[in-house]
Amino acid sequence: MPQLICPLCHEPLHAPAHDSEAASSGRSWQCANHHNFDVAKEGYLNLHLVQHKKSRDPGDNPDMVKARRAFLQANYYQPLRDAVADLLSPLHAESLLDIGCGEGYYTSHFRLFIDDVIGLDIAKTAIQLAAKKFKNITWLVGSGAMLPLADRSVDIASSMFSPLPVAEMARVLKPEGFVLVVTPAPTHLWTMRQGLFDEVLAHEPDKFLLGFEEQFTLYSRSEVSFPLRLPNQALKDLLLMTPYVWKAKPEKRAALELRGEFETEAAFNLMLFQKKSLNKC
C-alpha cells in the first residue's frame, strides 16, 4: 500500500496493525511524532485538519452526495466507468489514488484490477457512504491540495470531474506514473443545459492541457458519449449532482424538474498523462 503521511508533520503514518481488519477496528494511525488519527467506525481516516478547512463542511453537501449515489448506482454512467477501466487495466498498476472520489462508484471498480486503491474526498459525508459500502479500499477524508501520501508512492492518480492539483499529483506519483483526467466533453448534457440556461456554452477540455505540460506528457486521449433516457427522479438526481443547477435560474430548474421523462446525451473527455522521467533529455 502507498505510504500515508501525517498531515501535521508529513512523517509516515503507521497503521494500528498489519491486517486491514485490525486497521478498521477503531484504533489510531500514528506518526513518529505521536500525532494520532482514529479510524472511524465506518473504516475511514479523516486526515483533513480543521486549520486547513475553508468552511465547516467542505465539499459536496449531503443532498448532492445522496443524489450522486442514487444516479450512479442506477448505472446511467456505466459506459464511462467501463471505458475508464479499459483505459487503465492494461497499465497493470499496483496502486491508484482517486482524488475527489465521492461516494466511491468509480473507485470501487478500480479495485477489480488494482490491488491497492485509495479514495480521497474533502466531503466527509461522501467518504462515510463509500466506506460503509465498499471494503478493501483505503478511504480518506482529505484535500487534493495537500495529499496525505509520501513522495513517489503511487502508480496512478485519477481525477474525475474534480480539481486538478497537478503539482501534488506529480509529487506522489512514482517515476513515469500516470494521471487520469475525466472532464465533460464540449456537448455534455447539452439539451439539459439548454433547459437551464438562456445561452449554452461548449465545455473546453483543452484548457486543462496547459497545466500538465511542464511535468507530464499526454499519453492518450479519447472521448466517450452515450444517450441518456431519464425518468423524472433520475433527472432530479442528475440536476442536483451537477454544478449547472446552482447557476441556473430557479424557474428554469423548476420547469425542467416537471418533465416526466427526459432525453439527453452524456459526453466525456478522457485524458491520460504520464509523468516525465527526470532521466530523459
How far apart are alpha carbons 239 and 255 in whole angstroms? 12
Dihedrals phi, psi of 181, to nearest 5 degrees: -120, 125
Record the cell numbers describing residue 228, joined without a space: 441518456
Task: Name the one residue in this structure whose C-alpha cell is 450512479.
Answer: 72
Distances 226 to 180, 231, 240 between C-alpha atoms, Å: 20, 16, 20
How far apart are alpha carbons 132 and 122 in whole angstroms? 17
Q: How far apart are the first and last CA of the chain?
A: 31
Q: Could you give the residue ranges of the DSSP H alpha helices within the chain?
A: 20-23, 62-73, 78-88, 105-110, 124-133, 166-172, 190-196, 232-241, 244-247, 250-256
Dihedrals phi, psi of 10, to nearest 5 degrees: 70, 15
Annotated binding-site residue numbers for S-adenosyl-L-methionine: 77, 103-104, 188
**Type of residue numbered 10:** H
Annotated binding-site residue numbers: 31, 35, 77, 103-104, 188
Annotated binding-site residue numbers for Zn(2+): 31, 35
240 three-state secondary structure: helix
Dihedrals phi, psi of 110, to nearest 5 degrees: -60, -30
124 three-state secondary structure: helix
**CB within 8 Å of 237: residues ≥ 6 apart:** 67, 68, 70, 71
**Type of residue numbered 266:** A
Query: Are the C-beta atoms of residues 219 and 235 closer than 8 Å to each other?
Result: no
